[in-house]
Amino acid sequence: MGVHVLLLASHDLAVDLGFTLGLLGAGFGALAWAVFGVRRAPLGRAGLLSLAVILRLLLLPLPPTLSDDVLRYVWDGKVLSAGANPYGLAPQAEQLEGLRDERWRVMPHRDVEAVYPPLALTLFSIAARFPRPVLAWKILVTALELAGCALLASLAARRGLDMRRVALYAWNPLVTLEVAGMGHVDAVGVALVIATVWALDARRAWAPVAAAGAVLAKLVPLPAIPLWARRAPRPARFAVVSAAVVAAGLAPVLWATGGVPPGWIRFGVSWEFNGPLYEPLWRLVAALRLDEAVKLGLDRLKLWTDAHELWNRFYPYVYPRLLAKGMLAALLAWMLWRLWKDRQADATATTGRTFAALVLCSATVYPWYLLWVLPWAALARQPAWLALTGLVLLSYLPQFGEVPLVPWVHAAIWLPFAVLLWRHPTWSTA
């Protein structure tokens, strides 16, 4: 496994994507052999974490050629350190002209304001103060993620689980690539989610603070807070404390922008890539002309109520892609409600199923988004989601090659996953 990592670290991953995917595939093969192969001496926590550290150290020098997100992290941190408001000023704003550098010139989406919550921006600003901010950020995020690995190992030990289950996360090529190699901020939120579940399992009072921290690192875990509260020793306290910390963290942002930051709205409405249900659904909506049926319904409402101005406001939002997102939001709400009603599932299974539902209903699924699901899929040895961590890397083909995402790449990723999930739907850690 270490040989594959060394080859990756010495190679520009985006130049020869076939070679890169081949190396990653070999890494997954090595991981499968190490975890599921011939039984050897039991794996201890020290050995597990030592190899996890080594794998990440080898990838830290890797240039982030598969993703340019880290360039935006450093920019937003630089803007915040300069005393400006990255939520109100896009990188192309004239007020920020004095901060521009070489990284700014190659950074995409310069017309979009900051899309990350305040804890993430605070960490970005720390890295931005170093002479080599990209490397500083990758070291910071990797250290935090390794702390999450240690807590996951502790949680597994407390439950009497084999450390090889934790290795499915800690040694996973997707994790090492996207965290130490590409430096994605999702790893910070994932580490805080692991801390939340660890604290719930240990009945620690700081569990709701960790949950709020995860939301303030990236908004993804927000729907999980009510589900965690339901499984806490004192549900009302968990809900109140976590809500208060999240509110305290978001209030200055909402106040400074006069509402929801425009970058957040732009991201929620416009970003879409490789959504498992979204990609086929919006095309089906368009083929069936459901948007025209909705507009016809609005026409009838105008005639019935004689409130033309009221209903005219809805027409700009009636188009296939947004209708599909609305349908998936309704499906997600139903799935979360089912999880809320399930009192039998523990915090680990609930967390895994919650983030799995979020991924399935998302319009955007980049490879690193699976970091949110993987710790819990690893503990449960959930085959569909573990296989997806390798399959999802095929989504780099449309980003850096002449291969269209739909239909074949999308099908190659999601059809094998769907078959495995249908055959093995459970999240048990038994």
Q: Is residue 175 part of a domain?
A: yes
* Single-letter residue type at 391: L
Q: Is residue 395 part of a domain?
A: yes
What does the alpha-carbon distance between residue 138 and residue 182 come to, in Å, rounded to a whole number? Answer: 8
What is the model's pLDDT at position 9?
55
User: Quick count: other Cβ atoms within 10 Å of Cβ 270?
Assistant: 12
Q: Is pLDDT at 274 greater than 60 in this prediction?
A: yes
39 pLDDT band, cuts 50/70/90, is low
What does the alpha-carbon distance between residue 220 and residue 113 come to, in Å, rounded to a whole number? Answer: 18
What does the alpha-carbon distance between residue 285 and residue 291 come to, in Å, rounded to a whole number? Answer: 7
Q: Is residue 210 part of a domain?
A: yes
308 pLDDT band, cuts 50/70/90, is confident
What distances in angstroms separate CA 214 from CA 64, 119, 199, 249, 344, one per listed residue? 24, 9, 13, 12, 25
Q: Is residue 412 part of a domain?
A: yes
Averaged pLDDT, 18-32: 92
Question: 144-147, long-range: CB within 8 Å, 24+ apart, which pairs?
Answer: 144/187, 144/188, 144/191, 145/56, 145/175, 145/179, 145/187, 145/188, 145/190, 145/191, 146/49, 146/52, 146/53, 146/56, 147/191, 147/195
> At residue 182, what are phi and psi to the nearest 5 degrees?
-100, -15
What is the model's pLDDT at position 224?
97
DSSP 213: H
Averaged pLDDT, 71-80: 96
What does the alpha-carbon distance between residue 359 and residue 336 come to, in Å, rounded to a whole number? Answer: 13
Burial of 48 (0-12, 13-18, 19+ CB in 10 A): buried
Averaged pLDDT, 84-96: 95
Kindly state the percentage of the chain with pLDDT values over 70: 96
What does the alpha-carbon distance between residue 247 and residue 69 come to, in Å, rounded to a whole number? Answer: 26
Predicted confidence (pLDDT) per residue in 383-412, tens digit: 999 999 999 999 999 988 889 999 999 999
Predicted confidence (pLDDT) per residue in 176-231, tens digit: 999 999 999 999 999 999 999 999 999 999 999 999 999 999 999 999 999 999 99
Q: Is residue 90 part of a domain?
A: no
13 within 8 A of 24, measured Cβ to Cβ: no
* Single-letter residue type at 61: P
Predicted confidence (pLDDT) per residue in 161-170, tens digit: 999 999 999 9
What does the alpha-carbon distance between residue 396 and residue 393 come to, in Å, rounded to a whole number? Answer: 6
294 pLDDT band, cuts 50/70/90, is very high
Structure token pair of residue 235: 């549900």
> At residue 39, what are phi and psi to the nearest 5 degrees?
-65, 135
Name the average pLDDT for the chain: 93
What is the model's pLDDT at position 302?
87
What is the model's pLDDT at position 343?
81
Structure token pair of residue 50: 């030592």
10 pLDDT band, cuts 50/70/90, is low
Task: Give start and end residues of each alpha helix (H) in 60-162.
Answer: 69-81, 102-106, 118-128, 133-158
Q: Is pLDDT at 250 greater than 80 in this prediction?
A: yes
3-class DSSP assignment, residue 236: helix
Averaged pLDDT, 124-150: 97
* Single-letter residue type at 287: A
DSSP 63: -
64 within 8 A of 132, measured Cβ to Cβ: no
Residues 6+ away with beta carbon under 8 Å from 39: none
Q: What is the largest CA-CA distance in the chain?
A: 77
236 pLDDT band, cuts 50/70/90, is very high
Q: Is pLDDT at 359 greater than 80 in this prediction?
A: yes
What is the model's pLDDT at position 394?
96
Q: Is residue 77 part of a domain?
A: no
Q: Is residue 313 part of a domain?
A: no
What is the model's pLDDT at position 218?
97
Averaged pLDDT, 375-388: 97
Q: How many domains does the chain have?
A: 1
Q: Is pLDDT at 6 greater than 60 in this prediction?
A: no
From 124, 6, 119, 125, select the one nearest 59 (Cα to Cα): 6
Q: Is pLDDT at 21 greater than 80 in this prediction?
A: yes
What is the model's pLDDT at position 345?
83
What is the model's pLDDT at position 17?
87
User: Quick count: other Cβ atoms within 10 Å of Cβ 29?
Assistant: 14
Averaged pLDDT, 225-245: 96
What is the model's pLDDT at position 366?
97
What is the model's pLDDT at position 310?
86
Q: Is residue 121 part of a domain?
A: no
**Both ends of the chain: CA-CA distance in Å?**
28
Q: Which of 128-142, 389-403, 409-423 has the lowest mean pLDDT?
A: 389-403
Higher pLDDT, 117 or 313: 117
3-class DSSP assignment, residue 151: helix
Q: Is pLDDT at 14 greater than 80 in this prediction?
A: no
Averaged pLDDT, 14-31: 90
What is the residue range of 140's domain? 2-66+132-274+324-423
